[in-house]
Each structure stands twice: as C-alpha cells, then as structure tokens.
Amino acid sequence: MSSTTQQMTLDQVPVGKPVTVVRVGGEKVTRRRLLDMGLVSGETVIVQGVAPLGDPINILVKSYSLALRKREACQITVEVQV
C-alpha cells in the first residue's frame, strides 16, 4: 500500500473513520481497563457517535459498542490512513 498514515489520539478521530490502535497510555487503572476491554495495539476502532453534550464518545471495537469519555480517549494513540 502506498498510502501514508498519520497518528492522533482517539478523541480527535472523526465519526465513521476506521483507525488502528497503536498505543494505550494513561494511569494504570485506566490503561488496564482499556486494555481489558480489547483496545490493544493493532485493533481496529470506529467512532460511532458523540453524546449530545459533546462528551462521552461511542466507539465500535471488537464488534461491540463502548462508551468512553474524551479524557480516556485521549490516552489512546491511533493511526489513520490518509
């Protein structure tokens, strides 16, 4: 593939765009939870929607829906095809 990739954090990903998880950071408990829920590196994630007041986001991971606050989402580094 000749396309290039760009890294960003999950909270900045536009709705509907598939991205790949690169790294999960953050405090130990948060990171552990995110990993346990399947947000491990290499996993494909799609942002499905944003709550009406703008905060939690709803993502599709391992074919289930997961809600997380932007504070958690910004700990997740992802890769986007551009």
Partner 1 sequence: MTQERNYTPNTGGDRSIHLVGHVGRVVGCCRDLLGGCVRALAGSGGHCCGQPEGSVMGCTGGSVIALAGNPNTGKSTIFNALTGSHQHVGNWPGKTVEQKAGILKHDGQEIVVVDLPGTYSLSACSLEEQIARDFIVKAHPRVVVNVLDSTNLERNLYLTAQILEIGVPMIIVLNMRDLAEARGITIDIHRLAQQLYNTPVISVAASREQGLAELKQTIATFMTPQPQVACRLDLVA
Partner 2 sequence: MSTTHMSVPTSPSSIRYDHALEAEITRLSTAITQVSELRSMYRPRWLAIQLLEGDEQLLAEVQSLPAAEAVLRTLDASSAHLRELFGEDVDVLLTDQRYSFVNSLARDVLTHPAERRRTLSEKIDRVVTNRVLSIPIFLALMWIVFKVTTDVVSPFVDWIDGVITGPFTNWVVALVGVVGLSGTWFESLLVDGVIAGVGGVLVFVPVLMSLYLALAILEDSGYMARAAFVMDRLMHTLGLHGKSFLPMIVGFGCTVPAIYATRTLDNEKDRILTGLLVPFMSCSARLPVYILLAAIFFPEHAGLVIFGLYLLGIVTAVLLGFLLKHTLFKSQTHVPFIMELPPYRVPTLKAIWKQMWERTASFVQKAWTVIMVASVVLWFLMAIPLRGSGTFANTELDNSAFAMVSRSIAPVFAPLGFGNWEATGSLVTGFVAKEVIISTTAQIYAMDAAAVETEAATFAGELAAIATSFVDATVETLKAIPLIIGINLFPEEAEAEPSSLMIAMRDNFAASSGGHGALAALAFMVFVLLYTPCMVATAAARHEFGNKWMWVSIVGQLVLAWVAALVVFQGGLLLGLG
Least separation in angstroms between CB 47 and partner 2:
12
Map the footprint of partner 2 across residues 13-32, applying CB under 8 A: 24, 27-32
DSSP string, 43-80: -EEEEEEE-TTS-SEEEEETTEEEEE-HHHHTTEEEEE
**Sequence-ordered list of residues with C-beta below 8 angstroms from that of 37, at least 6 positions apart, any chain:** 61, 66
Nearer to partner 2, 50 or 80 (CB): 50
Q: Which is nearer to partner 2, 2 or 67 (CB)?
A: 67
Query: Are 11 and 78 a contacting pair, CB within 8 Å?
Result: no
Nearer to partner 1, 8 or 30 (CB): 30
Interaction site with partner 2 (CB under 8 A): 24, 27-38, 40-41, 43, 48-56, 58, 60, 63-69, 71-72
